[in-house]
Chain A
Amino acid sequence: MCLAVPVLLKQKRDDSGTIDLGGVEREVSLLLTPEAQEGDYVIVHAGFAISVLDREEAEATLSLFRELADSQGQ
């Protein structure tokens, strides 16, 4: 039911868009995420984008992982 992974929004037309799923294009509804823009990563559930990935928050979590790995490497 749930793709669970962020996918790239390639095109946007009104309240729907096209995503790229490993080379296969698929249509998604953007009714629940009208703020989504082309080039964003969205999380899709049952054919509807339910969130737009927050890149700053993603980076913050990744840098936390890096810090942790570094501090334990010492």
Chain B
Amino acid sequence: MRYLSDFRDAAACAALAERIRRLAHGAGEMQFMEFCGGHTHAIARHGLRSLLPENVRLVSGPGCPVCVSSQGDVDRAVALAGRDGVTVVTFGDMMQVPGSEGSLQEARALGADVRVVYSPADALRLAVDCPGRQVVFLGVGFETTAPAVAATVLQAQRQGITNYSVLSLHKLTPPAMRAVLDAGEVRLDGVIGPGHVSTVIGAGAWRFLPEEHGLGCAVAGFEPADLLLAVAELVRMVVEGRPEVANCYRRSVSDGGNSRALAVMEQAFQVVDADWRGLGVVPASGLHFRPELADLDAGARLALPKLESREPAGCRCGEVLRGVLEPSQCPLFGSACTPESPVGPCMVSTEGACSAHYLLREAG
């Protein structure tokens, strides 16, 4: 498929890398944050850092939904999995994330009914097929996943399915980006905007970056040439001193986003404060069900108690997620903590910064 291969084309990548080098030459140090975990993974996988000049650095931000789920969120999921008559359904990445009392995978080994799916639609189908069980989907994800989950919930309501519910741990990305900037711990010169989140919310959602923070934003796709084009745009904005939002992923992203997906999300969810690993409670950054959908809210329906949560000892995920610490600077990186036996969530998901850096280390 040429829409894939052409965006991986070596000549295009070389030309873009050369353009970045020329633009950045003599322009001082620049540091850009790739917000999205998919980008973090792609940058490591294609070795893109090695194509950049020394004065252009990329740091990873809090853009992996599995990694930013708080320890309390993981613990609630594990507690639910232990209930009689409950089937917990989740994306594969959540299985290995260590909670205070073990992971979902360990809960399953001890007899809990935990299933892995690719789509919330599969979870709803499972509920229809198992009428005797309460099927709870773990709603983990950003604006890309939330509309899909919202669609299944509205469908369950329409069809009168009473044994399906969702534990909504969904999070919104622009408030998290604001929280990182407001914390002021990491000096940034621009942001690589998430490609698929922006497909839903629109490139225009990032306009607060130039307007309020004086930072350029380049929305990027996931192929090497896409990412290099975005970096070239960010370097150009720094050199010209004109921050703006550049949409470098026009084949999927419009300025206003996917209005249908936004409407479905709006119909099911209301915006609430949410607890992020590494960032703490970020105002107006989470999604809970609207009161009229309370029956489909697993948290309300299954009355989860408040749990005491402990972060894994020695894990520095919080700092990694805020872009303050490089994964390799964590004392556990690559020794006590590896993808085979992860200590923290950033080593679990392939979109996690620690896992991406580990991959690169193995390749190099």
Residues of A41-63 at the interface with B, using a CB-CB cut-off of 8 Å, are: 41, 43, 45-48, 50-51, 53-55, 57-58, 60-62
Whether a CB of chain A sits under 8 angstroms from the CB of B101 is no
- What residue in chain A is nearest B225 (Cβ atoms)? A65
Whether a CB of chain B sits under 8 angstroms from the CB of A69 is yes
Our pick among A4, A46, A62 for the contact of B222 (Cβ within 8 Å) is A4
Rounded to whole Å, the gap between the CB of A47 and the closest CB of chain B is: 2
Residues of B223-266 at the interface with A, using a CB-CB cut-off of 8 Å, are: 225, 229, 248, 250-253, 258, 260-261, 264
Whether a CB of chain A sits under 8 angstroms from the CB of B151 is yes
**Can you name 21 A-B residue pairings with CB atoms under 8 Å?**
A4-B195, A8-B1, A31-B260, A32-B260, A33-B260, A43-B196, A46-B120, A46-B144, A47-B121, A51-B253, A53-B3, A53-B251, A61-B250, A61-B251, A65-B6, A65-B12, A65-B15, A65-B16, A69-B11, A69-B12, A72-B19
Contact B251 A50 (CB under 8 A): no
Whether a CB of chain A sits under 8 angstroms from the CB of B62 is no
Contact A51 B1 (CB under 8 A): no
Whether a CB of chain A sits under 8 angstroms from the CB of B208 is no
Residues of A8-48 at the interface with B, using a CB-CB cut-off of 8 Å, are: 8, 29, 31-34, 41, 43, 45-48
Contact A1 B11 (CB under 8 A): no
- In the complex where A1-B91, A57-B251, A65-B12 touch, is A45 in contact with B120 (Cβ < 8 A)? no
Residues of B206-223 at the interface with A, using a CB-CB cut-off of 8 Å, are: 222
Contact A34 B260 (CB under 8 A): yes
Interface of A is mostly: mixed
Interface size on B, residues (CB 8 A): 47
Contact A32 B258 (CB under 8 A): yes
Contact A6 B1 (CB under 8 A): yes
CB neighbours (8 Å) of A32 from chain B are: 147-148, 151, 258, 260-261, 264
A-B interface, 8 closest residue pairs, ranked by CB to CB distance from nearest: A47-B119, A57-B250, A65-B12, A58-B251, A48-B148, A69-B15, A57-B251, A4-B222
Rounded to whole Å, the gap between the CB of A67 and the closest CB of chain B is: 9
- What residue in chain A is nearest B247 (Cβ atoms)? A57
Contact B93 A1 (CB under 8 A): yes
CB neighbours (8 Å) of B16 from chain A are: 65, 68
Contact B6 A29 (CB under 8 A): no
Whether a CB of chain A sits under 8 angstroms from the CB of B122 is yes
Rounded to whole Å, the gap between the CB of A69 and the closest CB of chain B is: 4
CB neighbours (8 Å) of A72 from chain B are: 15, 18-19
- What residue in chain B is nearest A54 (Cβ atoms)? B251
